[in-house]
Amino acid sequence: MLSAAFSTARLLPKHVCRSYATAAVANGSHVLSPNVAATSLQTQSSPSQASPFQQPVYVPLSSLLRSKDALSVSDQLAELDPSVFSHPIRRDILHLCVVHYLDSLRQGSANTKTRAEVRGSGRKIRPQKGSGRARLGDGQSPMLVGGGVAFGPKPRDFSTELPRKVIQMGMRVALSARVKEHNLRVVESLDWTGTKTKDMARRLEELGWDQKTLFITGKESVPPRLMRTTGNLPRTSVSTAQEVEVYDLVKWPHVVLDLEAVQWFEHKLSKIRRVESPAADTPSSD
């Protein structure tokens, strides 16, 4: 369980954000919903708030479940760390991360036999001179059918090395790209109560999430019922925040995070230093 000091995904009513000046929109902040403008809370200062040059990112809170509280949930916003979800787009970094991941998937098990490994006798096929034909050695020569392979592939490791900070930047860029495309959603929880695939498919169609959607949870494992009901849906995948790769965020156009996943990403990728409260540092009088 993450510490409260790293919990930066806060839920705010929409009317609170609308009450502030919309100067942030003019400054180039991203509108994350057709009816909700991304605004800045410059009048409020807190230790976990972003610097004045980086305005917070707000995403409408969605609900995977059909419940009576769905309307109240849809009226709330999740505040995201701008250093994680509003990073400048770097296509070169994404390319490095994707190639690095795909290289690690290669088996590298291709193997061919050289002339020394091919079965057969080492006897010279014909005399060197007198036949009028080309000179030949043994039957394992690469020039002959059934002979060895010259410079053929051998088992090797195709994996490459990439600095950890580059991979972290790639994760920030991938998440920020989905936010700017309005293809990132945040839900309170991914705990699905049903057991039927058709019910999940119907709900995803209602939400518009039936077009290649990746669900990411911040828990140690994917909820069992979510895994079961989405297992036979070809355009849906589930993963945990610990296991997701930059390649996954690039491959799946739509991404759905729960609040725990948001907290996990902000804890691992945030560049904003958290300032602990003075009361925690003050020694007790006892």
Q: What is the pLDDT of residues 129-139, one digit of tens each?
A: 999 999 999 99
pLDDT digits (tens, 9 = 90+) for 72-109: 555 788 999 999 999 999 999 999 999 999 999 999 99
The answer to whether 96 and 185 have CB atoms below 8 angstroms apart is no
Question: What pLDDT does 39 receive?
Answer: 33
The structure tokens listed for 137 are: 């050695």
pLDDT digits (tens, 9 = 90+) for 164-204: 999 999 999 999 999 999 999 999 999 998 889 999 999 99
Contacts with 90 (C-beta within 8 Å, 6 or more apart), sequence order:
169, 170, 173
> Which residue(s) pair with 257 in the sheet?
186, 216
Name the pTM for this structure. Answer: 0.73
Question: What pLDDT does 278 receive?
Answer: 52
The answer to whether 63 and 74 have CB atoms below 8 angstroms apart is yes
- State how far the Cα of 133 lies from the Cα of 192, in Å rounded to an integer: 78
HEC sequence for 24-66: HHHCCCCCCECCECCCCCCCCCCCCCCCCCCCCEEEEEECCCC
What is the mean predicted confidence (pLDDT) over 7-35?
Answer: 40
- Residue 194 Cα distances to 66, 80, 203, 223, 238, angstroms: 11, 30, 11, 12, 16
Is pLDDT at 70 greater than 60 in this prediction? no
- State how far the Cα of 168 lies from the Cα of 252, in Å rounded to an integer: 18
Q: What is the mean pLDDT of the chain?
A: 80
Maximum Cα–Cα distance across the chain: 108
- Residue 181 Cα distances to 31, 167, 267, angstroms: 10, 21, 23
What is the mean predicted confidence (pLDDT) over 151-166?
Answer: 96
- State how far the Cα of 159 lies from the Cα of 22, in Å rounded to an integer: 48
Question: What pLDDT does 93 receive?
Answer: 97
pLDDT digits (tens, 9 = 90+) for 4-18: 444 445 555 444 443
Cβ atoms within 10 A of the Cβ of 107, count? 8
